């Protein structure tokens, strides 16, 4: 796994969401390795919180597939392999393609203008090289795309899948030049939606997620078994 610069751990006032994000980022970037134990007491002290939010954070990390926990044992970091990640990104690409096609067909005029406006405004984040702010923008951009499909069932499916991929989608923005490329890919989606071009919108969204998958592969470990968690 490629090593990247480490970020400071969030401490006082930490929420479950912040804790999940911090631990997930450490796992994705290699600060935590497969088989590393995640002890509740140690994590509570590290983040200066009680054990209750730690348990909830670990539960969410298990749902994301980044942590494994057997009954009556400490949680451990799983081995996130290329096979596992590519299968999720494959599903994500299909779902986002559907959302983009439906958005091109169903978005209201106001929704289309709002999407275009927030997209154009994000160029300043690209110029500033603001990874964290652009990552937040990216989440909002895609949420608008999902809601623009006007299908509650698809929205639920795509947001659940996105939550599992979130650490890897954030990690891509640490790669040099990725912000500008992401903006250009978003541009293709927005233009197609503004034109009402259903086919082009779906193709642009599918291609975008496929490229994100390739970028995120930088942070994936080889397809090898994680160390045994049976002992200890």
Q: 86 burial class (0-12, 13-18, 19+ CB within 10 angstroms)?
A: middle
pTM: 0.76
Question: 113 pLDDT band (50/70/90 cuts)?
Answer: very high
Three-class DSSP category at 67: strand
Segment 126-136 shows an average pLDDT of 93
12-21, 109-118, 141-150: the lowest-pLDDT one: 12-21
Question: 145 pLDDT band (50/70/90 cuts)?
Answer: very high
103: tokens are 């958005």
Cβ atoms of 54 and 89 closer than 8 Å: no
85: tokens are 């990640």
Q: Which residue has the higher pLDDT, 174 or 77?
A: 77
Question: 220 pLDDT band (50/70/90 cuts)?
Answer: low
Q: How many residues does the chain have?
A: 232
Predicted pLDDT at 122: 97
* pLDDT higher than 90, residue 79: no
Segment 23-41 shows an average pLDDT of 87
């Amino acid at each position: 796994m490629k090593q990247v610069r480490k970020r400071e751990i969030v401490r006082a006032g930490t929420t479950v969401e912040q804790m999940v994000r911090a631990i997930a980022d450490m796992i994705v970037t290699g600060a935590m390795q497969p088989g590393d134990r995640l002890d509740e007491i140690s994590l509570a002290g590290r983040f200066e919180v009680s054990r209750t939010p730690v348990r909830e954070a670990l539960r969410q990390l298990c749902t994301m597939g980044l942590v494994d926990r057997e009954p009556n044992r400490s949680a451990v970091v799983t081995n996130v392999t290329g096979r596992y990640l590519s299968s999720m990104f494959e599903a994500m690409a299909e779902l986002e393609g559907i959302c983009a096609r439906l958005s091109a067909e169903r978005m209201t005029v106001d929704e289309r203008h709002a999407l275009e406006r927030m997209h154009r405004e994000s160029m300043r984040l690209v110029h500033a090289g603001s990874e964290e702010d652009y990552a937040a923008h990216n989440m909002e951009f895609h949420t608008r795309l999902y809601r623009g499909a006007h299908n509650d069932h698809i929205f639920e499916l795509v947001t659940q899948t996105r939550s599992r991929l979130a650490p890897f989608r954030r990690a891509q923005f640490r790669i040099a030049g990725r912000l500008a490329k992401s903006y250009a890919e978003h541009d293709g989606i927005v233009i197609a939606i503004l034109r009402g071009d259903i086919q082009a919108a779906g193709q642009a969204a599918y291609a975008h997620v496929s490229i994100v998958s390739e970028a995120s592969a930088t942070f994936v470990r080889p397809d090898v078994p994680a160390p045994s968690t049976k002992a200890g």
